[in-house]
């Protein structure tokens, strides 16, 4: 990736032109850049879905947004690793006054995914046990905060002591080390079986997750980076429900529910993104290397 000067963008139709103040880096940006994702882009292209900034201009069709409004995005027509981004109305969400641009850039995909996993795929209900398997990253911290705010009993995992401390600070009651094979037994002893698992690395954990789930439990596969052999009997005997999740599959009605729910939680101060590090936009290659390494605590943000 390299910085290039291009002509200023102009919105067409219902597009919204945003002056980007902060960009959220997501793992999917690296998969698309490297060509290992089903979405294939023709080169050259500008990466990025998540950003926060100020509305500059709106295309011909008037929508709910107005110039100078603070917004965040969960998608973009032109890509958000830039000073300007063109977005469709479905990609753009109002940024409340109590949320900074950096925090706003950390919302779109991570909080959208965590919301969909908890409330649309797993049908989480107050009082249930939820294991957030990989709780120290962008989606994991969002899920811990949303689950705690909804009254669930939250267990999070992280690979470092600092990560586990952060997970506890964000609202988890218990934190375990996902690199310690004994954490599965410890969680089973603690809970007698978890009702919900949000899984960030299914190719490592899926088989053993099923051993520590309660009868009728719901497991949501959010992340996976390879294949795994599982014993299907573990799912049969407990009548487990294993759900895939792809945020981009949310219907317009589901997206509305997700992003109005996030806005309400932001306004009530129930959620607050955690920023791991800030880098200038020209260091996007470094950000892509960092996000694939474990143990960044929260979100990596690029500043154009």
Q: For residues 83-112, which are near ligand NAP according to CB under 6 A?
A: 109-110
Binding flag, residue 114, ligand NAP (CB under 6 A): no
- We find the least distance from the C-beta atom of residue 21 to ligand NAP, in angstroms, to be 21
Q: How far apart are CA 95 and CA 210, in angstroms?
A: 39
Binding flag, residue 222, ligand NAP (CB under 6 A): yes
Q: Is 6 helix (H, G, I), strand (E, B) or coil?
A: coil
Q: For residues 188-207, which are near ligand NAP according to CB under 6 A?
A: 200-201, 204-205
Long-range Cβ pairs for the range 262-267 (8 Å, 24+): 262/93, 262/107, 262/111, 262/112, 262/115, 263/93, 263/94, 263/96, 265/145, 265/146, 265/149, 266/96, 266/98, 266/99, 266/107, 267/96, 267/98
Taking CB atoms, the residue at the shortest distance from ligand NAP is 137
Binding flag, residue 223, ligand NAP (CB under 6 A): yes
Binding flag, residue 122, ligand NAP (CB under 6 A): no
- We find the least distance from the C-beta atom of residue 169 to ligand NAP, in angstroms, to be 14
Which residue number, 55 or 148, has a Cβ lying nearer to ligand NAP?
148
What is the DSSP code (8-state) at residue 151? T
Taking a C-beta distance cutoff of 8 angstroms, is the pair 51, 72 a contact?
A: yes
Binding flag, residue 219, ligand NAP (CB under 6 A): no
What is the DSSP code (8-state) at residue 117? I
Count interface residues toward ligand NAP (CB under 6 A).
32
Give the chain's radius of gyration (CA, Å).
19
Exactly one of 178, 183, 218, 288 binds ligand NAP (CB under 6 A); that residue is: 178
The residues that touch ligand NAP, with contacts defined as CB under 6 A, are 26-28, 109-110, 113, 133-140, 157-160, 163, 178, 200-201, 204-205, 222-223, 245-247, 291, 294-295
């Amino acid at each position: 990736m390299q910085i290039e000067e291009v002509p200023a963008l102009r919105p067409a139709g219902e597009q919204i032109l945003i002056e980007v103040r902060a960009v959220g880096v997501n793992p999917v940006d690296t998969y698309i850049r490297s060509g290992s994702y089903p979405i294939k882009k023709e080169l050259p292209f500008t990466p990025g879905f998540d950003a926060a900034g100020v509305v500059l201009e709106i295309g011909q069709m008037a929508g709910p947004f107005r110039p100078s409004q603070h917004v965040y995005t969960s998608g973009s027509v032109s890509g958000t690793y830039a000073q300007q981004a063109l977005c469709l109305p479905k990609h753009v969400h109002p940024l409340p006054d109590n949320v900074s641009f950096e925090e706003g850039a950390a919302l779109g995909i991570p909080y959208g995914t965590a919301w969909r996993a908890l409330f649309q795929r797993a049908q989480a209900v107050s009082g249930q046990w939820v294991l957030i398997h990989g709780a120290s990253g962008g989606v994991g911290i969002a899920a811990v905060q949303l689950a705690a705010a909804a009254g669930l009993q939250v267990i999070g995992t992280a690979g470092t002591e600092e990560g586990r401390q952060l997970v506890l600070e964000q609202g988890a009651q218990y934190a375990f080390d996902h690199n310690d094979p004994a954490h599965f037994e410890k969680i089973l002893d603690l809970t007698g079986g978890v009702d919900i698992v949000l899984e960030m690395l299914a190719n490592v954990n899926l088989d053993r997750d099923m051993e520590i789930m309660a009868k009728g439990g719901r497991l949501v596969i959010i992340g996976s980076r390879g294949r795994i052999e599982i014993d299907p009997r573990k799912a049969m005997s407990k009548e487990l429900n294993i759900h895939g999740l792809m945020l981009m599959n949310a219907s317009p009605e589901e997206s509305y529910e997700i992003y109005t729910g996030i806005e309400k939680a932001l306004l009530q101060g129930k959620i607050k993104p955690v920023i791991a590090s800030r880098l200038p936009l020209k260091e996007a290659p470094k950000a892509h290397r960092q996000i694939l390494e474990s143990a960044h605590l929260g979100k990596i943000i690029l500043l154009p």
